[in-house]
Amino acid sequence: MAANIASGTTAAVLSLMQGASGINASLLALQQAGSPGGGFAATVQVTAQNVAPDLVERSTAMRYPTANIYCEKVVNTLKEKFRSFSGRVEMVMEIRHSQDGLEGLESALELYTDAASQALDATRGDWGNGMFYSGGYEITFGAVKRGGRGFVQSARIGFDVGVSKS
């Protein structure tokens, strides 16, 4: 049951983030509103996977920026006593950006993170199939490391999705 809930929630988040009010739509709106800086990518590659950046770079041709969505934890709190599952699914959206120089790397990552958080804000409410997102998230920025096109930095957005299944 937990595997079905994890994969179903991941698929729902992926669909919403790739959809009409997803990350790329939010990114376009931010760029049109005149966000500071320039030279940002027009789109973010959105995938459902929990893989370390160095493994992805060795196994496939990587295109940055990227947003990796995955389930980190499934918690059955049995809030609704007569349901087989009633709790929360802890989701993560990891935004990664890479470029050849350090200048502007952090501001670009912040722009992509803003787009992702705006896309999450736009999806608050009932998602159907017993899933709902009440809002709220936590963003953690990682340190710049070697990798990708020279340097890579990531931001982790953690958020909870409520799930209720019979």
Q: Can you give the pLDDT at residue 55?
A: 72
Q: Can you give the pLDDT at residue 1?
A: 67
Please give the radius of gyration of the chain, using alpha carbons only, rounded to the nearest integer.
17
Mean pLDDT by 10 residues, the chain (166 residues): 87 95 91 67 87 70 88 94 93 94 91 95 95 96 88 96 94
Q: Can you give the pLDDT at residue 36?
A: 58
Alpha carbon distance 162, 6 (integer Å): 12
Q: To which H or E segment does residue 6 belong?
A: helix 2-18
Alpha carbon distance 114, 71 (integer Å): 21
Chain centroid to Cα 53, Å, comes to 15
CB 114 within 8 A of CB 20: no
Give the up-direction half-sphere exposure of residue 93: CA atoms within 13 A in the CB hemisphere: 35
CB 9 within 8 A of CB 89: yes
Q: Can you give the pLDDT at residue 58?
A: 66
Q: Which domain holds residue 157?
A: 2-165
Count of structural domains, the chain: 1
CB 24 within 8 A of CB 32: no
β-pairing, 45-47 with 66-76? parallel
Q: Can you give the pLDDT at residue 39?
A: 59
